[in-house]
Amino acid sequence: METHLKKKHDSQMFIADGYSLFRRDSAGRRGSGVAVYLRNCLKASILNYPGEVPDYELMWVKVETASRDILVGALYHPPKPIYQPSALLEHLENCIDELTGEYPRTSLVLAGDFNSQDNDDIISQCALNAIVDQPTRGV
C-alpha cells in the first residue's frame, strides 16, 4: 500500500504481468503515497470524491463485478502525520458514509498501513469489521 513513488516515476516501470496499477502519489512528503494492484480482468477506476483532502494519503478504487461492486480504500497513515489523527478518523467516516450512500449495494474494503492509529478506533468510528487482528510485520 505505501509507496515512495513521485510524479516523476513512470507507472510503466512498476507494471506486474496480469495486473493494473492504481496509485496516488504524495504531494511533497517523502516516503509516502499509496498504490493498489488489481487483476487486469477486473473493470476498475479511481474514484474522485468531494471533500478529498490532499494531506490524507487515501485513495478509493471502484471495482465492478457481475454481482456487486467493491470499493477498495488504500490508506497510509504516517508515523508522524501533519494532521490530527482524530481529523483523519472523521474524514474516513465521512468518506465511507458518502460512498456507501452513493453506492449502496457495494462491499467496502479499507487496507493500508495505519502505523500508530489504533485499528479499534477506525473499526468503531467507521462501522467496519476487521479481518486482520494483528500487525502483519514488526511484531
Q: Where are the alpha helices (DSSP H) in 18-84?
A: none
Residue 65 has pLDDT above 70, yes or no: yes
Helix (H), strand (E) at residue 122: helix 119-126
Q: Give the pLDDT score at 79.
A: 83
CATH top class, domain 41-126: alpha beta
Q: What is the pLDDT of residue 82?
A: 86
pLDDT digits (tens, 9 = 90+) for 11-35: 677 778 899 989 887 766 566 788 8
Q: Which value, to the nearest 10 degrees, does the dihedral of the CA atoms of residues 24, 118, 133, 71 take?
A: -30
* Contact by Cβ (8 Å): 132, 84: no
pLDDT (tens digit per residue) in 70-112: 999 998 888 888 889 889 999 999 999 999 999 998 999 988 8
